[in-house]
């Protein structure tokens, strides 16, 4: 299929997307529970936590509305941010849109990973895999409309890699957004790369610092988002072609997960 110009992934529209929930202290995969979430195509999880004494799971993540383009025509990919609630006892599932903007690569305060949190910072797709700005969402506004608090758009022709959340201090002085959002930006016209630091608390996500990258790496620097972030940040400076770099990162990650025993055999996943 790939040799003939097809995609690595085949989409079966007859299937309903599912989310698997594995108890924290599960002995094996037989304890995993599966829940169907119609129209929810998850790629990158932003955060998840449990509520109601562990009876309910809350998941925040971008929902890829055009999953069929994910490896074929990435510029056509559209994603919005949704909040999914799953009741482990009744099996009831709800999905609420937090923002209808095209957002991806969300980050939160590291001290709130796996715990209830209020703010999330997302890259604005323009188009994928390029990021044309950064937005801040307030999860407490769920159900009241668009949860976007503020949005910072880069100048025309300027794109960034996925954002990172940098803590001002480990406790944040009791304020979840007492921190900074950092990322690399790249001017397509001038081939100038910058490392930018934005104040996560400011109403407009104002710049705190903008550092121009040394000229020797500018022609090769390609800050468009690659996953995982750690490998992508290194390879994006060495591999000028974004899809080639993406492929290399995915292969490395796959081998890492394989040798770490992370994969669940296909025959262990229940048919549906």
Annotated binding-site ranges for Fe cation: 44
SS3 247: helix
Which residues on neighbouring strands pair with residue 82, listed in sequence order? 61, 97
CA-closest candidate to residue 104, choices 145, 63, 70, 160: 63
CA-closest candidate to residue 82, choices 106, 116, 54: 106
Task: Specify the DSSP class assigned to residue 253.
Answer: H
- Pair 235, 217: CB distance under 8 Å: no
262-271 contacts at long range (C-beta below 8 A, 24 or more positions apart): 264/29, 268/29, 270/34
Which residue ranges are tagged as binding site? 44
SS3 259: helix
- Pair 192, 216: CB distance under 8 Å: no
User: Quick one: residue 73, left, alpha or beta (phi over 0 = left, psi -120 to 50 = alpha)?
Assistant: beta
CA distances from 218 to 4, 164, 195, 213, 236 (A): 35, 21, 12, 7, 11
For 74, the token pair is: 């990435």
Q: How far apart are CA 8 and CA 15, in angstroms?
A: 18
């Amino acid at each position: 299929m790939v040799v003939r110009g097809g995609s690595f992934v085949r989409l079966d529209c007859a299937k309903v997307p599912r989310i698997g929930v594995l108890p924290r202290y599960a002995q094996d995969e037989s304890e995993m529970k599966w829940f169907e979430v119609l129209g929810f195509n998850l790629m990158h999880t932003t955060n998840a936590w449990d509520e109601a004494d562990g009876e309910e799971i809350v998941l925040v993540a971008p929902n890829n509305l055009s999953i069929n383009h994910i490896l074929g025509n990435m510029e056509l990919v559209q994603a919005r941010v949704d909040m999914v609630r799953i009741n482990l006892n009744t099996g009831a599932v709800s999905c609420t849109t937090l923002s209808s903007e095209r957002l991806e690569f969300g980050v939160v305060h590291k001290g709130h990973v796996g715990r209830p949190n209020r703010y999330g910072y997302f890259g604005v797709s323009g188009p994928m895999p390029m990021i044309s700005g950064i937005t801040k969402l307030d999860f407490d506004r769920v159900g009241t409309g668009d949860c976007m608090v503020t949005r910072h758009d880069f100048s025309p022709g300027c794109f960034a890699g996925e954002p990172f959340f940098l803590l001002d201090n480990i406790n944040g002085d009791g304020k979840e957004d007492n921190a900074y959002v950092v990322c690399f930006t790249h001017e397509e016209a001038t081939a100038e790369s910058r490392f930018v630091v934005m104040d996560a608390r400011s109403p407009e996500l104002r710049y705190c610092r903008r550092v121009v990258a040394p000229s020797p790496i500018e022609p090769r620097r390609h800050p468009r988002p690659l996953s995982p972030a750690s490998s992508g940040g290194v390879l994006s400076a060495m591999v000028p072609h974004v899809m080639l770099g993406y492929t290399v990162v995915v292969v490395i990650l796959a081998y890492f997960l394989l040798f770490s025993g992370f994969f669940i055999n296909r025959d262990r996943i229940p048919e549906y």
